[in-house]
Amino acid sequence: MRFSIPILLAVLLQACSTADENKIGSIERLDAELDNILDQNTPIEILADGFIWSEGPVWVEEHNMLLFSDVPKNTIYKWTSENKVEVYLAPSGFTGTETLSREPGSNGLLLDKKGKLVLCQHGDRRMAYMDAPLDNPQSNFITLADRYDGKRFNSPNDAVYYNDELYFTDPPYGLPRQDGDPTKEIPFQGVYKVSKDGAVTLLIDSLTRPNGIAFTPTGEMIVANSDGQKAKWYKYALNDSTVSGGEIFYDATDLVPTEKGLPDGLKIDSKGNIFATGPGGVFIFNSAGKLIGKIKLTNASANCALSGDEKTLYVTNHMYVFKIALK
């Protein structure tokens, strides 16, 4: 059979498009309940690419923009439908003059109840907020917390507000030699709470690499552990200034040898569905904690964010930022 040149070009373009989609990823349906959240044939759209390690996305409804970190570049980027990708803020996580850290920038990003941008700053080893309007960003930061018991944090990684109090994780990824760095002042990797009065409380010191953190609508705290030997999510109950429980929510350790990525950032929607980045992509759990599907991705995923109406999921994935439509 012979094809005309236009038809042949069309066939080749379609083949390339299909190959690209297969390279990016696919939707894996593990339970019919996934159909209430996500269509199995929903495309995975590349929103932006060309980053070293994209992280910490947050959707800003007021300005219809997605903000996300490139941690090694010490830069926050902005995506809007009108202007696509632009530099939003630099520096974002390290404001000094010299550092040996390979990941000095901001990591997790979130908004407080006043609409201020709050940053997990690797290089400056603190939780801080940007002292500037969202539509006129400047690298002016006010410290929310930088020490526990007089000792500097490792490198705050991810954070969430619950009942107007700030909860965050503190693994060593921003330190030049991580856990063996001579500047490391705290001997463990902690999960902390910053109270309304600024007091810092240690909640957990037993996890090897605490990373993503989020709360269910019923007040359970889910923490990801980004350790290849213990690639697990844990579930805790809050008791004022302490936590209890700590049972394994889900164990993905057996996937680590064959899939890229580790338990990292996660988000929970208003119905209690959990979107958690982990080995092989984004794990989707229902409100009862059952794994009902995955967004299978070729490269390692770092974190995700939901739009204000919870109809869109944004995923930071190595050099990419993806957009997936939800129901």
Tokens of 323: 């957009």
Spatial distance between the Cα atoms of 288 and 43, rounded to a whole number of angstroms:
27
- Predicted local distance difference test score (pLDDT) of residue 15: 36
* 145, 127 Cβ separation under 8 angstroms: yes
Supply the pTM of this predicted model: 0.92
The helix (run of H) or strand (run of E) holding residue 129 is: strand 126-130
* 105, 72 Cβ separation under 8 angstroms: yes
Spatial distance between the Cα atoms of 24 and 21, rounded to a whole number of angstroms:
5
Spatial distance between the Cα atoms of 33 and 219, rounded to a whole number of angstroms:
23
* 25, 44 Cβ separation under 8 angstroms: yes
- Predicted local distance difference test score (pLDDT) of residue 240: 80
Tell me: cis bond preceding 91? Omega within 30 of 0 counts. yes
Place of tokens 């092989």: 280
Overall CATH class of domain 52-205: mainly beta
Cβ atoms < 10 Å from Cβ of 271? 11
- Predicted local distance difference test score (pLDDT) of residue 150: 98
- Predicted local distance difference test score (pLDDT) of residue 23: 76
User: Which residues neighbour 122 within 8 Å (Cβ) at sequence distance 6 or greater?
Assistant: 71, 93, 94, 101, 103, 104, 105, 106, 107, 155, 156, 157, 173, 174
* 152, 145 Cβ separation under 8 angstroms: no
User: Which residues neighbour 103 within 8 Å (Cβ) at sequence distance 6 or greater?
Assistant: 53, 71, 72, 122, 155, 173, 174
Spatial distance between the Cα atoms of 117 and 119, rounded to a whole number of angstroms:
7
Spatial distance between the Cα atoms of 109 and 147, rounded to a whole number of angstroms:
19
Concatenate the DSSP letters of all residues of 236-250 into one string.
EEEETTEEEEEEEEE
pLDDT tens, N- to C-terminus, the chain (327 residues): 444 444 433 433 343 333 344 578 999 999 999 999 999 999 999 999 999 999 999 999 999 999 999 999 999 999 999 999 999 999 999 999 999 999 999 999 999 999 999 999 999 999 999 999 999 999 999 999 999 999 999 999 999 999 999 999 999 999 999 999 999 999 999 999 999 999 999 999 999 999 999 999 999 999 999 999 999 999 999 998 899 999 999 999 999 999 999 999 999 999 999 999 999 999 999 999 999 999 999 999 999 999 999 999 999 999 999 999 999
- Predicted local distance difference test score (pLDDT) of residue 118: 98
* 45, 322 Cβ separation under 8 angstroms: yes
Spatial distance between the Cα atoms of 133 and 123, rounded to a whole number of angstroms:
23
Q: What is the DSSP letter of 9?
A: H
- Predicted local distance difference test score (pLDDT) of residue 5: 44
